[in-house]
Amino acid sequence: MTHAELLESPVRKAWATEADALEALDGDDKRMVELIDGVLVEKPMGLRESYLALWLGTCLNNFVVPRRLGIVAGSDGLVRVAPRQLRLPDLGYYPWATPGFPAAATSRIGPSAPAIAVEVLSDSNTVAEMDRKRMDFFAAGTTLFWIVDADERTVAVYTSPNDFTLLRGTDLLDGGNVLPGFALALPDLFGYLDPPPEFTSAP
């Protein structure tokens, strides 16, 4: 089931468990799924979105790791945001002070929401889906929620489910009070989406 189908379905049959979610992630076809209201919801991700998430994660790790501030987890890092509710942020920053860490850093399912959760928009994402996801993360303790839009080359920085600042152009994406000192100019985030001139010239 997709996020859109789940949100539009008049009947949500609760049947899936956390074990089912882990089985889907571990299976031969390795399906990226979240557990929402007892339903396994597949989370597709395109190549461009995967690249941006990896690049932003690299930038975060380059800041976090030398300072031993915590961990940065990728798009297959399941976290429990409520009982029977598992989410897969495209990126998550977990300070060592996150409840349940550092011991939980080696567990299959993170027991707490990341301090910074990141979503890189895909074509399949809906407004309702992102609204629900923000609510889930902030309710679970997330402080910053970044929505990266590759088409518009913007980043919406949410400090609550509904309060946000839209960054564009040459604006700086920073870690605020959660990750003081971290800053990344948007051209440095999105610039590598543009191939070098020799690969864009007409034959």
Question: What 3-state class would DSSP assign to 116?
Answer: strand
Q: Rounded CA gap, 43 and 20, in Å? A: 15
CATH code at 139?
3.90.1570.10
pLDDT band at residue 106 using 50, 70 and 90 as cut-offs: low
Tens of pLDDT, residue by residue over 173-182, are 999 999 999 9
DSSP 8-76: H-S-------HHHHHHHHHSTT---EEEETTEEEE----HHHHHHHHHHHHHHHHHHHHHT-EEEE-TT
- For residue 169, what are the domain limits? 45-193
Q: Give the integer Cα–Cα distance in Å for 173 and 36.
A: 30
Give how many domains the chain has, as a whole number: 1
Is 73 inside a domain boundary? yes
In the prediction, which pLDDT does 9 show?
A: 41
Residue 35 belongs to some domain of the structure = no
51 is a domain residue: yes
Any domain includes 95: yes
* 125, part of any domain: yes
Q: Is residue 115, in this structure, part of any structural domain at all?
A: yes
* Residue 18, domain member (yes or no): no
**Angle 139-78-56 from CA coordinates, rounded to 5°:** 90
The tokens for 176 are 């605020």
Does 102 sit behind a cis peptide bond, omega within 30 degrees of 0 on the bond before it? yes
Q: Say what the pTM is.
A: 0.85
31 is a domain residue: no
Distance CA 76, CA 74 (A): 6
Provide the pairing of β-strand 39-42 with 70-73: unpaired
pLDDT digits (tens, 9 = 90+) for 124-146: 888 999 999 999 999 999 999 99
